[in-house]
Amino acid sequence: MNTMNTTQCLIILSDIETSLLVSKAKLNLCDSENDIDNASAAHDIAFNCGMNFENMMIFSDKIRASAVATQIEDSISNIIRSCENSLRHSFESGRADVAMYAANLD
């Protein structure tokens, strides 16, 4: 049973939004192709954001009725569209992992 309330959902979505911006900035700050630590950290953040986002989409019916949540979701979508392909793929991989788990396909 889902015990999250709307406020908790909004906080989680806001955290995802902020973390994606951090991930994008971290990747943009990489000064060379050899800056593997920062690039890996950026991709890990994006992957975790994808997992958290998909969890919210699957397991919370609270956000569907919230206009604020819809605005945050739109903002997250805009951030993802503006990211480099590698970060977009990390985010989508995180979403796919959660979707497979939810469908018992893992």
Q: Per-residue confidence at 67, pLDDT binned at 50, 70, 90? A: confident
Number of domains in the chain: 1
Is 1 inside any structural domain? no
Contact (Cβ atoms closer than 8 angstroms) between residue 47 and residue 40? no
Contact (Cβ atoms closer than 8 angstroms) between residue 1 and residue 55? no
Two structure tokens written together for 97:
């992992």
Whole-model pTM: value is: 0.85
Is 34 inside any structural domain? yes
Q: Is residue 7 over pLDDT 90?
A: no
Domain span at 52? 6-102
Is 65 inside any structural domain? yes
